[in-house]
Structure 1
Amino acid sequence: MKKREEQILKKWKFLLIVGAMVLGCVGCGEQKQEGTGAVDVKPVDVVQTDETETESAPTESETEEKNDSYEDLEEKGAEGETAVFAEQIQAAMAEKDLDALAKLCAYPLAVNGEAVENEEAFMALGADTIFTEERCAVIAAVDVSAMEETMAGVIMGDATPNIIFKSVDGELKITGIN
């Protein structure tokens, strides 16, 4: 009988240990706290169509165009044209000459994150939108001899506000005003 009691006792110990392990696993599993806005995330199969790929991946001609633009910019920088163009931008900003600045732009142009399709639309924005006190101060403070050229172009200003220009069809043009 003693042997039988030992077997039953072993089974109970085993069940207690297994039960404790199960409780431990459940307790350490996924926990949600009320009010945290936790959301169950389930894996989803993502299907990428050809349409998505063509929109996100630059074509060979676009890549070539960017490289050509960068090479044009490097050449102009070497000849001092980049500094001269930057000085023209600084002069237009200092004089708050919207017409002069408009002629330095390539269209469509990004202004404060919005696309401006042509010179008329740019002029319609008005001087108050373009010649903010902060933007004028930032552009005036740019050292045109120390500007760096990137694949995006030359960025006048360390952050926002800034003016970005690059070579467009062989000419330096403003492509962004932020």
Structure 2
Amino acid sequence: MTSKEPQTPDRTDDVDHFIAQRAKESPDIDTAGMAIFGRIHRIATRVGPHMEALFARHGLDRGEFDVLATLQRSGPPYKLSPTALYTSLMLSSGGLTHRLKRLEAAGLIRREPSPDDGRSLIVALTDEGQHRTSQAFNDDMQMEASWLAALTAEERRALADLLRKLGFATPTFDKNSDPPP
């Protein structure tokens, strides 16, 4: 296996073009955010359809896969409360209920009485759900690895570290702007 030499950008992309245009129209505004968030958005937009097609080959959509993957990564016995699921997935309880109904109808999950509270149900991954999730996850990781092949191992680590740091950032917002979600 050969290692890749670190590379500098040898070509421009659409974001570079947008920044250059904006620099002419608004030279006093810092556009560093466009260089980062514009690229994050454009990459997510390009990768998204490929991910959806991958999950569709497994009879799932991305939201359904997220539910199944959350149950699976929770470890044996692959059961969680609906509250734990929607909190982990950052969904409303109504949004989760819709996904659970589809997954239950497909035989990928089952809802069973909670051993701790007879009024509550626990969401459990079925054997078929476990199998399909494992297959979809494996295919997803292979696809993501192919996208990341353009970066060296060190570049991937550095990018992951920087994105993690950015994810923990707590920006301040102008009093006239909408509050963050």
Structure with a larger share of its residues in helix: 2
Structure with the largest fraction of strand: 1
- Structure 1-normalised TM-score? 0.25
**Higher Cα radius of gyration:** 1
